[in-house]
Amino acid sequence: MRWLPVLAALAISGSGAAWAVEKTSSEEVEMLVQRGLRLRKAGDDAGALPEFQKAYQLAANPRTAAQLGLVEQALGRWDEAEGHLTIAIRSTGDPWVEKHRESLQSAMVIVRGHIGSVQIAGEPSGAEAYVNGRLVGRLPMNQPITVIAGEVDIELRAEGYQKRVEKVVIAVNQHKPIVLRLERVDTPSATDDGKRSGDAVAATETGAAAGTARAVSTEAHAIGPIVGWSLAGVGLATVTVGVVEALLGQSKMDGAVTDATAANAMMNMSLYANAQAKLSTGRSQRSLGIVVASIGGAVAVGGIIVALLTRSTPADATQVTRLEPWFGTSGDQVALGGIKWSRTW
């Protein structure tokens, strides 16, 4: 019985220490948040980011998630911002979030105008999946990965397999499934007999490859013009698609400017946020259209060059009829152009 007072004192002391640690942690989180807010008001979003990151690590609650998401939005870290703002918006009962919910939802509209998602699947099970160099999980993966719209590097790694990297283009609000399968790394034989056998096979394959190369060269020379004109046709079609896409994007941007003007006049933040999202979508669509048109133009020019360089006259032919592109120049300017018809006797 004489130990009861001592145990009671220890219990009280322990609870007091825990309360003191919790109070200290809470005060530190508040100091970090306030320091981050001061830096943001001064225009230093990059300096505020680590302050909010530390606060979120110490106390992962809706308020710290929201503050971290907002500074990530300001820095263009759209994929990270979407995750933290989602945590805040989906919470219920937090007084700070309820007070600022409308602003958080407007920020989320802007963020979602810059992101898409990928669903990674494939083989083998347990392979590590990387997105833009960042480890995001292991196969199988049930949840999609949020990414910033644009070109994305998807990489799969597994021990005993050759790694594989795929570049994909993700549009705004697009969800794209990606399936990657890795090939096993072959282990060479360690015996001399195996080595000699491999050398013999290699020599045979080298001779066969040389003959095949000659045959392929002859065949390529014969089908080169067909491939070239086909590429030129595909390139021109791609240019058309790119131009249409760019014009549609410009139209969206013009509409967004009109909406933003109306929103400013009415002081309607929701309409203004929608206009910003529309402007961002239009800008991305226009940029994509310009890129597609440029690629199409390069393919078309390359196809014409291939067609012209690989044309030939069969040795056993008495005559050959051709339709060829023709350009007349004046100085360094193209003055005339058309299709030339010619015959070889």
We report the CATH number of the domain holding residue 131 as 2.60.40.10
In the chain, how many domains are there? Answer: 4
Instruction: Give the number of other CB atoms < 10 A from CB of residue 341.
Output: 9
Omega before 314 cis (within 30°)?
no
Structural domain harbouring 71: 7-112
- The verdict on 25 and 107 lying in the same domain is yes
Residues 26 and 105 in one domain: yes
Comparing CA positions, the residue from 154, 120, 113 lying closest to residue 139 is: 120
- Within 10 angstroms of residue 84's Cβ, the number of other Cβ atoms is 25
- Chain CA centroid to CA 208, Å: 42
pLDDT of 3 reads 41
Measured from the Cβ of residue 258, the count of other Cβ atoms closer than 10 Å reads 12
d(CA 168, CA 198): 38
Give me the helix-helix angle, 62-74 and 95-112, nearest 10°.
30
Q: Are residues 103 and 47 in the same domain?
A: yes
Confirm whether 201 is domain-assigned. no
CA 4, CA 7: separation in Å to the nearest integer? Answer: 5
Low-confidence ranges of the chain (pLDDT < 70): 1-24, 187-222, 260, 263-264, 267, 272, 311-345
Among 78, 112, 146, which residue terminates a domain? 112
pLDDT digits (tens, 9 = 90+) for 15-24: 444 444 455 5
Residue 204 lies in a domain: no
- Are residue 87 and residue 13 in the same domain, yes or no? yes
**Which CATH number characterizes residue 28's domain?**
1.25.40.10
Domain termination site, one of 58, 86, 112? 112
Q: Does one domain contain both 99 and 146?
A: no
Residue 185's region, left for phi above 0, alpha for psi from -120 to 50, else beta, is beta
The predicted pLDDT at position 194 comes to 53
Domain boundary, last residue among 85, 112, 139 = 112
Q: Give the model's pLDDT for residue 154.
A: 93
Distance in angstroms (rounded) separating the CA atoms of residues 213 and 202: 16
Together in a domain, 92 and 46: yes
- Let me know whether 257 and 304 are in one domain: yes
In a domain, 203, yes or no: no
Q: Is residue 221 domain-resident?
A: yes
Mean pLDDT (the chain) is: 77
Is 119 found in the same domain as 105?
no
In angstroms, the CA 186 to CA 188 distance is 6
How far apart CA 94 and CA 157 sit, in angstroms, is: 41
106 shares a domain with 44: yes
Check whether residue 291 and residue 227 sit in a common domain. yes
SS (H, E, C) the chain: CCCHHHHHHHHHHHHHHHHHHHHHHHHHHHHHHHHHHHHHHCCCHHHHHHHHHHHHHHCCCHHHHHHHHHHHHHCCCHHHHHHHHHHHHHCCCCHHHHHHHHHHHHHHHHHHCCEEEEEEEEECCCCEEEECCEEEEECCCCCCEEEECEEEEEEEECCCECCEEEEEEECCCCEEEEEEECCECCCCCCCHHHHHHHHHHHHHHHHHHHHHHHHHHHHHHHHHHHHHHHHHHHHHHHHHHHHHHHHHHHHHHHHHHHHHHHHHHHCCHHHHHHHHHHHHHHHHHHHHHHHHHHHHHHHHHHHHHHHHHCCCCCCCCCCEEEEEEEEEEECCEEEEEEEEEEEEC
Same-domain pairing of 12 and 108: yes
